[in-house]
Amino acid sequence: MGHNNTNAPVTRFVEVTRPKLEGGKRLVMHSEFQPAGDQPKAIAELVGGIGGGERDQVLLGATGTGKTYTMAKIIEATQKPAIILAPNKTLAAQLYGEFKGFFPENAVEYFVSYYDYYQPEAYVPRTDTYIEKESQINEAIDRMRHSATRALLERDDVIIVASVSCIYGIGSVETYSAMTQDMIVGEMYDQREFLAELVAQHYRRLDASFQRGGFRVRGDIVEVWPAHLEDRAWRFDFFGNELEAITEFDPLTGQKTDTFKQIRIYANSHYVTPRPTIQQAIKGIRAELANQLQVFQNEGKLLEAQRIEQRTNFDLEMLEATGVCNGIENYSRYLTGRAPESRRRRSLNSSPTTPSFSPMNPTSRCPRSAACIAATSGANRCWPSTASACPPAWTTGR
């Protein structure tokens, strides 16, 4: 893991105030091939267009002509964080593997929907039947999503391969980045406060069955398995209140793999919210509930009024007691402090102010993906420069 153990500060975008711990690395492409044919001209023109501030560019080419390689060269030339948008998980996985091969030293991340199964909630007033939302989350993809959002906030050499999942709500980047803990060797920390902060970050105490998203305590030693790591965890050795060492180790074998002078612990949930914000959100939710109940009662929809009051009050009790509830995304506007009808926070909003370069890979669903983005983006676009790799048949649909 390439932590910046010198703790050299790197400029961050305005939404996050802390310096990056892993910033300053360049995007370096590794390939045994060199650009050939029309590729050098295409690379030069697209890079020039990005430098000139062009908002939209299209790279035309048939299947197998090296568009992915050309895009990789453009990313290396521009040295900008990139989002590679694909319409489905299969193509995203293929592109993820290819860009991992091109940029083995950089943060190539994977961000797609983490649901293996999803049944949305539904209500049938005629029979007073409520069908609760049911879902099954893929833990491996959830870890990769955490790794992707963390990389956006901690590194400059980031390439995110994503599906259209990245255009939907993910919580507030300000809150997510603020709900972190910086641990520095030699500094003084109250261990009880450290553990309380881990709980606030939605980490679970798992002394018996240690797993990702959990922590365990053994005397003066606290072990944390961060949300973004697959087979490594961090051990914090305290002597009284002094942090003596930070060690990375294999949770299965206990073998030491690295040591750090400083690390930053990110939350175990993208919807993590401070307690004062939750209390404020609950007040707003109750106010809207009262208004909606009045609307239903005026319209004679007593069953609907009873159901929404019962469901909302249950969710509010869960928020007050645990800080989370099923379907917490339904209350994201209040939890993030947004105005009515304002644009939701998404993984795209976590991008640095350095203009991100966002290629769209060729696929028959590209226009549909663009329509999804337009529908959820509001008035402003998240990135100022976009290059698309499309087959020749789309020249008129530019």
pLDDT at 361 over 70: no
pLDDT above 70 (res 317): yes
Instruction: Give bridge partners of residue 60 from the DSSP assignment.
Output: 390
- Which residues make Cβ contacts (< 8 Å) with residue 306, sequence separation at least 6? none
Burial readout 145-163 (b: 16 or more C-beta within 10 A, e: otherwise)? bbbbbbbbbbbbbbbbbbb
Q: Which residue has the higher pLDDT, 303 or 294?
A: 294
pLDDT of 77 reads 94
Range from 5-9, 163-167, 266-270 carrying the lowest mean pLDDT = 5-9
Signed CA dihedral, 89, 91, 92, 93: sign only = positive
* pLDDT of residue 380 exceeding 50: no
The matching CATH number, chosen from 3.30.230.10, 3.30.565.10, 2.40.50.100, 3.30.2060.10, for 181-265 is 3.30.2060.10
Burial label for 284, CB within 10 Å (0-12, 13-18, 19+), is middle
Mean pLDDT (whole number) for 139-143? 93
Tokens of 55: 């908002």
List the domain boundaries for the chain. Answer: 39-168+346-397, 181-265, 275-336
Q: CA-to-CA distance for 166 and 373, rounded, in angstroms?
A: 9
d(CA 308, CA 305): 5
336 or 284, higher pLDDT: 284
What is the reported pLDDT for 387? 56
* Mean pLDDT for the stretch of residues 182-203: 94
- What distance in Å separates the CA atoms of residue 111 and residue 94, rounded to the nearest whole number? 13
CATH code of domain 39-168+346-397: 3.40.50.300
What does the pLDDT look like over 110-129, one tens digit per residue? Answer: 999 888 888 888 888 788 78
**pLDDT above 60 for 74:** yes
- Note whether 65 and 42 are within 8 A (CB): no
For the segment 330-336, the average pLDDT, to the nearest whole number, is 84
